[in-house]
Chain A
């Protein structure tokens, strides 16, 4: 594995943060502390953390609606995330975004409610970077379900035609909302669809966070050199239900159990231990620090005021 100890340790810490933050938010949803539901990604943290960590701060990321992996990966903090979920005045959007996390300064771009609306936008952002010669790369991360949107294909067509610095990444967790992908599609390897436009593809184990990072770095650097788009597909599995209001039951127990044995956090821990860079005490320290950061963020969000109602009437036009 080409990933350094330092990078792998960072990826491990970020995955711990994602998992514990999602768990904490789930409790906040069930206790009605936040006015919305949550969509979590237990078991697929390796993909979002790996791909987003492969980007420079100035690179652009279009993320998914599921969980916090790519957002933590790109550098959003628990405080920034929770203040948006609470809809408080202290959030970056002063209560306007909710679950649609955005932080333009670090390249976290719009997460549209209508899944797949980002396909065209991502090409536009990459086109802009190319025309202005900024050297920035755009990465569009989406699920295998969202890949059914027609905009996916026209965006592949345009990205290939114009050779824009864009990396397409499919987070294939095998479930599309409340149904198995195999019940709604016969094209289970999503990446091969990109080959029709001459875009190079890689289909990779998404539960090996180091491999995800390394694969993405290669595609990003290729894009940065002006060699055009790549389509990466990371195979993983979602052990969470679709959202906090979904009782589940449509995923076979044996399937969940099988994938739990292939957990990205467990695998990363084993790798770090085999390298001698992590022991039990080290992991305990990470968890304590992460939990402290999360609890401080919860407290900050709880203590923050709601935005003044009159602010709702301002700022429609630039």
Chain B
């Protein structure tokens, strides 16, 4: 049996392996030397201060530094301490990083990774808890990875570092200490390949990031009721493995999309529209979306919990879908 390591350790190993393999990989951000969520802890000891750069607190500028470095033969990983802060660098991400390869007609490349811890963990408040990964599906030229477990985190991260395009890499903070099987030998998880986490025949649940675990719990719950749920983890939102989802839909004819982020203009909105547009004939019931309401996330864990979807909400959506509601 493969060893089990935490999500944090999996990402740190990916950093170490890629930085050893390729001198052009550097990491920069606030407190990356100490490593506030520990994915970068210790890197400075092995790779030195030149390749592990602590920056002043200015997301827009240091993401810009990453863009400039990426345009000139480095492969920077830029860490944003909380993904909420990435909006401070939205100009650099949406208007610059994703667009210059196209606008320059291929003369420039922007091979950079933006590593961004995200998600609600209770008691962190409105600006340290959001799941805003779907925001980055809109600007062109970006890739968006939302791993749900240590294996995918390591494999996707290594692919992201080697990608010649900007990749946003979201790490749910509730998953960081969760352990999972990760082989000793090297492997990659390419972007755009969804994973079937549980096979089923009655309903397809496409779940993002931490919601994969809630969806699996819902599937277990529903199995007791004789309902067979197929759980798909897209792993990357852009590019999206449409083919894998469609294959599942051709079997189940029912679609539920679950995310911790907000429903409005979220991943479910996009996938739901895509399904209605392309696969209408394979839908026996309306598409169900599970996600947060369009509200700020309040501080009190009791209030936060009320807004974050869970396995029961997903199970309800599946039942409702199968009832044709």
State the A residues within 8 Å of B (CB). Answer: 60, 92-94, 96-97, 100, 102-104, 109-110, 112-114, 117-129, 131-132, 150-151, 154-155, 157-158, 161-162, 315-318
Contact = CB atoms under 8 A, between A and B. Distances in A.
A20 to B, nearest CB: 28
B91 A117 contact: yes
Contacts of A123: 61, 64-65, 68
A120 B64 contact: yes
B105 A96 contact: yes
B95 A114 contact: yes
Given A151-B60, A158-B61, A316-B101, A121 B96 contact: yes
B57 to A, nearest CB: 8
A121 B65 CA distance: 5
27 contacts: A60-B72, A96-B103, A113-B95, A114-B91, A114-B95, A117-B96, A118-B64, A120-B60, A120-B67, A121-B64, A121-B67, A122-B68, A123-B64, A124-B66, A124-B69, A125-B69, A125-B71, A126-B68, A127-B68, A131-B26, A154-B60, A154-B62, A155-B61, A157-B58, A158-B62, A316-B101, A316-B140
- Assign chain B's interface to a size class: 35 or more
B61 A154 contact: yes
Interface string B245-274: 000000000000000000000000000000
A119 B61 contact: yes
B92 interface: yes
Contacts of A132: 24, 73-74
Nearest to B62: A120
A124 B71 contact: yes
A288 to B, nearest CB: 34
A97 B100 CA distance: 9
Interface string B84-114: 0000000110011000111111111111000
A193 to B, nearest CB: 15
B165 interface: yes
B50 interface: yes
Highest count of chain A CB atoms <10 Å: which of B58, B64, B108: B64
B16 to A, nearest CB: 19
Contacts of B64: 117-121, 123-124, 151, 155
B164 interface: yes
Contacts of B147: none
A294 B315 CA distance: 70
Contacts of A110: 71, 96, 100, 104, 108
Contacts of A158: 55-56, 61-62, 65
Given A124-B70, A125-B69, A93 B61 contact: no
A92 B105 contact: yes
Contacts of B105: 92-94, 96-97, 315
A281 to B, nearest CB: 41
Contacts of A127: 65, 68-69, 74
A129 B50 CA distance: 12
B92 to A, nearest CB: 7
B240 interface: no
Interface in B15-71: 24, 26, 50-51, 53, 55-56, 58, 60-71
B101 A318 contact: yes
Contacts of A125: 68-69, 71-72
Contacts of B164: 317-318
B38 to A, nearest CB: 24
Nearest to A131: B50
Contacts of B109: 318
Contacts of B26: 131
Contacts of B70: 124
B117 interface: no
B63 A104 contact: no
Given A151-B61, A162-B53, A316-B101, A124 B108 contact: no
B141 interface: yes
B63 A120 contact: yes
B103 A120 contact: no
The 10 closest A-B CB pairs, nearest first, are A120-B64, A124-B68, A121-B68, A154-B58, A154-B61, A318-B164, A124-B69, A124-B65, A128-B72, A120-B61
Contacts of A120: 60-68, 92
Contacts of A318: 101, 106, 109-111, 164-165
Contact of B106 (A113, A124, A154, A315): A315
Contacts of B309: none
A94 B106 CA distance: 10
Given A93-B107, A112-B96, 10 more contacts: A96-B103, A124-B64, A124-B70, A125-B68, A125-B72, A127-B74, A128-B73, A150-B60, A155-B64, A318-B101
